[in-house]
Chain A
Amino acid sequence: MKMLNVALPKGRLGEKVYAMFEKAGFECPSIKENNRKLIFENEACSVRYFWVKPSDVAIYVERGAADIGVCGKDILLEYSPDVYELYNLDIGKCRMAVAAKKDFTDDVRRTLKVATKFTNIAKNYYDSLGRDIDIIHLNGSIEIAPILGLSDVIVDIVETGTTLKENDLEVVETIVPISARLIANKASFKFKSELVEKIIHSMEKSND
């Protein structure tokens, strides 16, 4: 059987994802060795895993360097890669939300300044409301923006809400729930669907 290339997101989520693959019977023990290798394979299971930056998983899958991968729904919504979204792993759960300072009130007569890493998600959300906005694209520490007056609100991922609370911010609106999704390259799926389906069914079974 041909090898299936699987892109795993580096970090906490990736470790949880690998554990799901392992529980489903697609283990690769060498992945747990303490070294700096990035590619691991198990010929017996016909799988090859590799670690990539979480926001790059969708690119590897869309371009066929990986047949399947796991990434957050936030990445799929932001970059809209042309991939199949085959399974909701239901882990890495959080939400995309609008947050602002505790005393913030929205004056609809003014253009709303929105700081975010997720410019497409923010634009689509406010387009659906017909709200005029000025998007400020930031790469990190988004929570500081409203505190320093750079923006009125932020659009960002919220997990427990602790970071917001500690910076005197609060969630104003939930845009969409987020969780980890198993995605597949559309072309690879045509020729490797049997193995991909086997993985999904095994994951569904071991999650029950």
Chain B
Amino acid sequence: MAFYESVLNNGEKAVFALRSLYESYGYSQYKMSKFEEYDLYVKNKDFLISDSVITFTDRTGKLMALKPDVTLSILKNGKDKTGQVQKVYYNENVYRVFGEGFKEIMQVGLECIGDIDGYCLYETLSLAAKSLATISQSYVLDISHLGVIESVFDAVCLPEGSRAAALKCIGEKNTHELCEICKCNKISDSGTAMLKGLVSLYGAPSEVLPKLRELLKGADIAALDEFAEIIEAFRTSDIYEKLRIDFSVVHDIHYYNGIVFKGFIEGIPSSVLSGGQYDNLLCKMGRKSGAIGFAVYLDLLERLSANDKKYDVDILLLYGEDISITALSQAVDTLSKTGSVAAQKGIPEKLKYKRLMKITESGVIEV
């Protein structure tokens, strides 16, 4: 097993660890086809990271797509059942825009769909944090709540037409332009301070939550209690010190409605995990249930340096035409017990090897 681990890259190791983690919490694997009807993505294109999708026409003339997303497919095929929660995870390749073209991205994700409650929200966040921990202990999980942000917008009377721009500023931690939006909309000084506070308050829950309650006192922010309850449920867990409240985590409010979160690992320049509660998407698809989930972007894990290999093979074994196939295969089998072996007639140009050996009639010698 140790030998197998040494040839696995960070993403491959993560897949085994995450599948084991999710199954230990009763999640079952959801397997889907590479292709989905393009219509599914056209109707929900704002939910996708990018609206560019690889399409083709199948043998019946139907327009199909190489899937850019898995969540929509899981939701499309699900049924609403009172009192029940569907818990699934997936390990699939998706196809997304990358630079001027497209890229195949390995993604592991988890969805909790149905009659979800506070425990479901807690468990999903817990599994998000544990997912990050399987990859590296140097991680943080940023958590926000779109219901809190919407309620603050209502409390300060920010017009609907300015909310998208204000949300963008909050996502960019852009206080100076947020203040300009407040000025243009004649928001009061206290209202402006409340919005600025959403940007400037971030950090460990033990520090931020009291300041947040102080900032929002006097405003009817119902979502704040739900937000605080879920986060405080982690107080006695190891995960608590890795959580950060940060309202710059923003997702599309047409699909996401409550807790949203992103995970970061030190050394990787973008978030490796993203998720949230997306009841609004289910409502758009005609379903009555709630849902929360997240995805881990395994392609980013190659940025971690754990797998830097100095050599391509441990042993390069040279042989001549005078050596029989039997003798050569026996030598390779014996040497492979000590490490990786490449049998070649000559030294390949770019191959990095640790030891150079040669098989002769009298046996194997070091060169």
Contact = CB atoms under 8 A, between A and B. Distances in A.
Contacts of A84: 172-174, 248
Contact of B264 (A62, A82, A87, A190): A190
Contacts of A187: 264, 268-271
Residue among A83, A85, A185, A188 with the highest chain B CB neighbour number at 10 A: A85
Contacts of B174: 84-86
B325 to A, nearest CB: 50
Nearest to B141: A190
Contact of B140 (A62, A63, A65, A190): A190
- The majority secondary structure among interface residues of chain A is mixed
Interface in B156-194: 172-174, 176-177
A24 B142 CA distance: 30
Contacts of A62: 269
Interface residues of A, number: 18
Nearest to A64: B269
Contacts of B172: 83-85
Contacts, number: 41
Contact of A86 (B138, B140, B173, B270): B173
Contacts of B299: none
Interface in A83-112: 83-88
A4 to B, nearest CB: 14
B294 to A, nearest CB: 17
B269 A188 contact: yes
B271 A186 contact: yes
Given A83-B172, A87-B176, A190 B244 contact: yes
**Interface hub of B138, B173, B177 (most chain A Cβ within 10 A):** B173
B207 interface: no
A63 B176 contact: no
Which of B176, B248, B268 has the most chain A CB atoms closer than 10 A to its own CB? B176
A64 B304 CA distance: 13
Interface string A60-79: 00111100000000000000
Interface string A177-192: 0000000011110110
A82 to B, nearest CB: 7
B266 interface: yes
Contacts of A88: 176
A82 B250 CA distance: 12
Given A85-B174, A190-B142, A64 B248 contact: no
Contacts of B140: 190-191
Contacts of A188: 269
B269 A185 contact: yes
A63 B269 CA distance: 6
Contacts of A65: 269
A198 B326 CA distance: 69
Contacts of B266: 190-191
A191 B268 CA distance: 11
A74 B225 CA distance: 40
Nearest to B268: A187
Interface of B: 138, 140, 142, 172-174, 176-177, 202, 244, 248, 264, 266, 268-271
Interface of A: 62-65, 82-88, 185-188, 190-191, 193
30 contacts: A63-B269, A64-B268, A65-B269, A83-B172, A84-B173, A84-B248, A85-B172, A85-B173, A85-B174, A85-B177, A86-B173, A86-B174, A87-B176, A88-B176, A185-B269, A186-B264, A186-B270, A186-B271, A187-B264, A187-B270, A187-B271, A190-B140, A190-B244, A190-B264, A190-B266, A191-B138, A191-B140, A191-B264, A191-B266, A193-B202
Given A186-B248, A186-B270, 13 more contacts: A64-B268, A82-B270, A84-B173, A84-B174, A85-B177, A87-B176, A186-B264, A186-B271, A187-B264, A187-B269, A190-B244, A190-B266, A191-B138
The 4 closest A-B pairs by CB, nearest first: A64-B269, A85-B174, A88-B176, A84-B173
